[in-house]
Amino acid sequence: MDEQRVDALPTAEHHEGGFRPMAELIDAATRDVDISRGGPHYGELVEQTRALMDRVRLSSPSDDLALEAITLLKELNAKLDGAVVDEWSAPTWTRADLPARGNITLPPYVVDEAGRDGVTARVTFRTFHLGGNRAAHGGHIGVAFDDLLGMAAALHAGAVTRTASLTVDYRSITPLDTPLRLHAFAERIEGRKVYVRATLHDGDRLCAEANGLFIVLKPGQQ
């Protein structure tokens, strides 16, 4: 099978160790940011891509259907090749008007509150995130925690951070296709170390909780 690689690495000219500027990160978290990147139909493109991922997750196609889908996907990938940009030019970190900023690698979430005191969001795990028996996969839960804890750490510290450690405790089944409440916040900061916690609830029921350590980067660190 031939593998095609999309090269979208940032260029060396970007500051803060190759990260987007902190001011733009905060703007994106608080939705005060230009949402024109990707155009007015970008959100629907992401949604249709998510819908495809959901279907592929549980599909068992015939040979004919598989071959037809492969042909269509190859054609679509060839068209999208012309739209590939580096990560700093992509819409997936500026589109605060879309679930998970339009980033299909993340479980879709909507941020309700974001500031130095923490981040509160609604996250919905879809069929693509299935682990088994109609429950969300623990790895996808960890991804949601990591992204929103990182946001909470950065907003609390006022600086770019990297994950140093992340521990997730699974307390009960996390359902699919259900808006869940995720609350992430910083407990304390010691020098460059930001200690964070988060909970994930289905109504009053605790599904999972996490604690982590994020490190504030020095200028030029990646």
Return the pLDDT at 89.
Answer: 86
Other CB atoms within 10 A of residue 10 CB: 15
Which pLDDT value is given to residue 35?
Answer: 75
From the list 206, 185, 181, the residue with the least C-alpha distance to 196 is 185
pLDDT of residue 125: 98
* Total-model pTM: 0.86
> pLDDT at position 10, please?
47
Q: Render each residue's pLDDT in the chain as its tens digit; 222 residues.
A: 455 555 554 454 544 455 555 555 555 555 555 678 899 999 999 999 999 999 999 999 999 999 999 999 999 999 999 999 988 889 987 888 999 999 999 999 999 999 999 999 999 999 999 999 999 999 999 999 999 999 999 999 999 899 999 999 999 999 999 999 999 999 999 999 999 999 999 999 999 999 999 999 887 665
**Predicted local confidence at residue 88, as pLDDT:** 81
Among 119, 100, 102, smallest CA distance to 199 is for 119
What whole-number distance in Å separates Cα of residue 220 and Cα of residue 222? 7
| Whole-number pLDDT of residue 96 | 87
Domains in the chain, ordered, with CATH?
7-221 (3.10.129.10)
pLDDT at 6: 56
